[in-house]
Amino acid sequence: MRLLPVLLVLVAARPSACAESHWCYEIQAKHPNSACLGPSQWGGNCQKSRQSPINIVTPEAQIDPSLGSFSFSGYDKKRKWKVQNNGHSVMVLLEDEASVTGGGLAAQYRAKQLHLHWSERLDEGSEHTLNGVRYAMEMHIVHEKVKGTSRNEKQAQDPKDEIAVLAFFVEAGSEENHGFQPLVEALSYVPRPNMNTTMNDSISLFDLLPKKETLRHYFRYLGSLTTPGCDEKVVWTVFQEHIKLHKEQIAAFSKKLYYDSEQKLKMTDNVRPLQRQGQRLVYKSRAPGQLLPLPLPTLLVPTLTCLLAGFLA
């Protein structure tokens, strides 16, 4: 009978213990007295075979002619966006104000939020890597498929592309990025989890991105969310052109944000480790640096004809 009270205490304590074992990044899991689960222990779909992020090897990416230009709607609309520290990253709530079509996507996708991943070190903050190179940060603009806009019924029922993420590498530049500055300034007002603020100045999504004409060059593959439950329903677009921020702007994310309410652990290295690509193919919109609009033989024939005519004359 003495065992009964002990068992009741253990049963009562179990839910709270499970609640404390929430997911976190490796830097948090290694922190003294941490009870959270690092990336190797993430549950849900996180141990499946079509996970993200991956290393993109550019010479192995296959050109897909269907990956044309994107059509951006609402990306030019300036607003004082809401900003939130969600305990894992800083998030900008986009409130369905923008959407994207084209770019080989099977439907229209509405923008829900954007967030970033980063590190104090300028070569360890991106989740994806490009030919093994990791960058200072990575920005994700997360979109959801709009029902009724798929090109055909089969695509409408395809669960692999319910979410479209536009991903951008961020590297250190020599000048301040004025488009990003309202977001950088907002960080001071959301240091702790679950804090919210509104930007002091209005910006558009285009203010955060590289020049529009560079957005034709990108890589495409099917993967997952990079946070639990790691649902494998994401069509990824990773752009070749990088965003450039001054190193002080990059450093602000690690200096001003914290994972915990006590502000003991700086929010940095919020990066999921690379996942196996497996049998998945990575596609590219066109050959990087390709300047010739026509096949080389087509261009050479008239040139050789002229040269031959001149020689015979």
Q: What is the mean pLDDT of residues 6-13?
A: 38
**Structure confidence at residue 287 (pLDDT):** 53
Q: Element (H or E) spanning 170, and its range?
A: strand 163-173
Give me the half-sphere count of Cα atoms (radius 13 Å) on the Cβ side of residue 217: 13
pLDDT at 25 over 70: yes
DSSP string, 76-132: T--B--EEEE-SSSEEEE-TT--EEEETT-SS-EEEEEEEEEE-SSTTS--SSEETT
Active site residue 88: yes
**Structure confidence at residue 116 (pLDDT):** 99
Residue-wise pLDDT tens digits, 74-110: 999 999 999 999 999 999 999 999 999 999 999 999 9
Q: How far apart are CA 181 and CA 187, in angstroms?
A: 10
The pair of three-digit structure tokens given for residue 133, joined into one six-digit string: 């190179």
Q: What is the mean pLDDT of residues 203-211?
A: 98
Out of 14-18, 230-234, 280-284, which region has the weakest mean confidence (pLDDT)?
14-18
List, in order of start, the domains of the chain with CATH numbers: 1-41 (no CATH), 45-289 (3.10.200.10)
Q: How far apart are CA 115 and CA 229, in angstroms?
A: 17
pLDDT at 241 over 50: yes
- Active-site residue identified among 22, 88, 128, 140: 88
Q: Radius of gyration (Cα) for the chain, nearest Å?
A: 23
Residue 213 is given by DSSP the state G
Return the higher-pLDDT residue of 298 and 285.
Answer: 285
**Structure confidence at residue 154 (pLDDT):** 58
Out of 197-206, 233-242, 298-307, which region has the weakest mean confidence (pLDDT)?
298-307
CA–CA–CA angle 206, 207, 213 (5° rounding): 50
218 forms beta bridges with 239
What is the pLDDT of the chain when averaged over all its residues? 88
Out of 12-16, 37-41, 177-181, which region has the weakest mean confidence (pLDDT)?
12-16
